[in-house]
């Protein structure tokens, strides 16, 4: 009986596990430079000087483009049990979304804060 119980405990322990990972997405950019953006005046060249190359560029029309500066950092943790698993993630994010018309900023938005977490049981 003791051998059977010990065998079951060893198998259960072998079927459980844990993993933790840190990650980043995009390039960290200087948020203090956002106050230097002026709608109708700041050029694409000036944006590149302030923040570097954007994470992505989208062509919206012949005269408009959308630049996105994104930076996310966080951790993801997975814990597996015999018949279930638990997954959690947490971190921070910042996004600068810029609309340019003829290579001049016409509008922008900036958000920064906690990244929506994922908790799965």
CA distances 118 to 86, 94, 115, Å, are 10, 18, 9
Global confidence as pTM: 0.72
Rounded Cα–Cα distance for residues 113 and 110 (Å): 10
pLDDT in tens, 32-91: 999 999 999 999 999 999 999 999 999 999 999 999 999 999 887 877 766 666 777 788
Query: What DSSP designation does 117 have?
Result: P
Rounded Cα–Cα distance for residues 58 and 56 (Å): 7
């Amino acid at each position: 009986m003791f051998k059977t119980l010990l065998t079951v405990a060893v198998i259960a322990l072998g079927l459980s596990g844990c993993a933790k990972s840190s990650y980043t997405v995009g390039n960290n950019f200087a948020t203090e430079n956002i106050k230097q953006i002026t709608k109708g005046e700041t050029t694409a060249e000036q944006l590149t000087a302030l923040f570097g190359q954007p994470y992505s560029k989208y062509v919206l029309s012949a005269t408009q483009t959308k630049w996105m500066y994104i930076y996310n950092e966080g951790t993801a943790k997975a814990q597996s049990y015999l018949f279930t698993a638990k997954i959690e993630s947490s971190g921070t994010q910042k996004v600068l979304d810029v609309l340019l018309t003829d290579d001049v900023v016409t509008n922008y938005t900036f958000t920064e804060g906690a990244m929506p977490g994922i908790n799965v049981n």
